[in-house]
Amino acid sequence: MLFNSEYKVIPAKELYNFCINCFIKCGTPKHQAEIIAEHLITANLRGVDSHGVIRIPYYIEGINKGLIKAKAKINVVKETPITALINGGKGLGIVVADKATKLAINKAKTSNVGIVGAYNLGHVGMLAYYTKKIVKHKLIGFACANTAAIVAPYGGKERILGTNPLSIAFPVNEEKSIIIDMATCTMAAFKIHLAMREGKKIPFNVALDKEGKPTTDPKLALEGVLLPFGGYKGYALSLAIEILLSAFMGAPLSKNVIFHASTQGGFLVIALNTSIFRSYKEYKKDILQIINLLKNCKTIEGVEEVLLPGEIEERTYNERLEKGIPLDIETRNELLNIAKRFNITPPQNLV
């Protein structure tokens, strides 16, 4: 993978330690700072840079503005053998969602199903992080979240829905899993923010400007509205997530979530035992058959192979784990400013 001269590659371990120190300086307990650091670095390693260390300044800003808390009291307010509801106490969303995921895993192990919701929390980050944790236990994982409103319903031009992402993951074996992770709009909002920072255009039919006209200018897109992917189909899926998180679970409507990169509406995670209906051996046999059919599929001109969801991210992970994480100059400067403010020694190559 080639990067332009504005990028520098930083070893993952150095960024991980730096991230921990940043949140400790904000008042976050060390064990929680480690959870956040692992999450953000994993996002960068998987190539999901919009949910990586670029988020550190925004989370810190959210803490300083009182939108979220560096150290929060997280409570389970309602629980059954297979369900639980968590009040995150305005805590850092990654920490709250991690607790919810672990609880869902434990319930699925003992009762075959674990369904855990969380509200009153900050931005939960990359949903694949949680579903990947679930599949490591030979469980099927599902996670979704609603966000601050920035997406118009199909045929509309007002901000009603969030980007409302979802992730579904299926275990295959000890080394492989199928991980679906996507927003229900045409492009994640923060990726449009990245395009604006890098001076790039966005694809047509991704967003509308304030007047309701299609635009390829990321700045005008962020001032206007994003569009659901696949027209009415993406709109319907986004709406389903909105209802699950708000009406069903009790998180705020996307319209009522403060628009900031540190905030979130709610988070829902589900873990399912693969042996609910049949043995894990039978499940594994059939999922491998599905994968073999896909990987052996004849491809169209210009396509080398059919890829599984999450396969590109896994390859990127392995490459970046070995070579390091590329960071653009603006992200590096923001992290250096934090290092200076908190008197933290930055990674050597960050300068």
Please write the tens of the pLDDT for every residue from 308-324: 999 999 999 999 999 99
With a CB cutoff of 8 Å and minimum separation 6, the contacts of 193 are: 50, 218, 222
Residues 261-289 have a mean pLDDT of: 98
Integer CA distances (angstroms), 262 to 17, 131, 142, 218, 315, in order: 21, 21, 22, 20, 28
Q: What is the pTM of this model?
A: 0.96
pLDDT given for residue 2 in this prediction: 40
Pair of tokens at residue 248:
């069903």
Structural class in CATH, domain 1-64+308-351: mainly alpha
CB 328 within 8 A of CB 4: no
Q: In DSSP terms, which residues pair with 167 in a beta bridge?
A: 143, 181
Residues 270-293 have a mean pLDDT of: 98
> Residue ranges per domain, the chain?
1-64+308-351, 72-183+231-277, 186-227
Helices then strands, each counted (H, E), the chain: 11, 12
pLDDT given for residue 68 in this prediction: 98
Tell whether the model's pLDDT for residue 3 goes beyond 70.
no
pLDDT given for residue 197 in this prediction: 83
Q: What is the residue-averaged pLDDT of the chain?
A: 96
Integer CA distances (angstroms), 179 to 123, 129, 189, 309, in order: 20, 10, 21, 6
Tell whether the model's pLDDT for residue 181 goes beyond 90.
yes
Integer CA distances (angstroms), 63 to 24, 125, 184, 260, in order: 12, 16, 28, 11
Q: In a 3-state reduction of DSSP, which class is residue 288? A: helix
pLDDT given for residue 191 in this prediction: 86
Q: In a 3-state reduction of DSSP, which class is residue 83? A: strand
CA separation for the pair 90, 350 (Å, rounded): 31
CB atoms within 10 A of CB 1: 10
- Topology annotation, domain 72-183+231-277: Ribosomal Protein S8; Chain: A, domain 1 (3.30.1370)
pLDDT given for residue 193 in this prediction: 85
pLDDT tens digits, residue range 135-158? Answer: 999 999 999 999 999 999 999 999
Tell whether the model's pLDDT for residue 1 goes beyond 80.
no
pLDDT tens digits, residue range 198-254? Answer: 889 999 999 999 999 999 999 999 999 999 999 999 999 999 999 999 999 999 999
Residues 106-122 have a mean pLDDT of: 99
The candidate with the shortest Cα–Cα distance to 134, out of 90, 103, 163, 101, is 101
pLDDT tens digits, residue range 18-65? Answer: 999 999 999 999 999 999 999 999 999 999 999 999 999 999 999 999
Residues 272-280 have a mean pLDDT of: 97
pLDDT given for residue 175 in this prediction: 83
Tell whether the model's pLDDT for residue 4 goes beyond 80.
no
- Topology annotation, domain 186-227: Wheat Germ Agglutinin (Isolectin 2); domain 1 (3.30.60)
pLDDT tens digits, residue range 64-85? Answer: 999 999 999 999 999 999 999 9
Give the residue ranges of DSSP H helices in the chain: 12-25, 30-45, 56-64, 93-111, 127-135, 189-197, 218-223, 232-243, 280-295, 311-323, 329-342
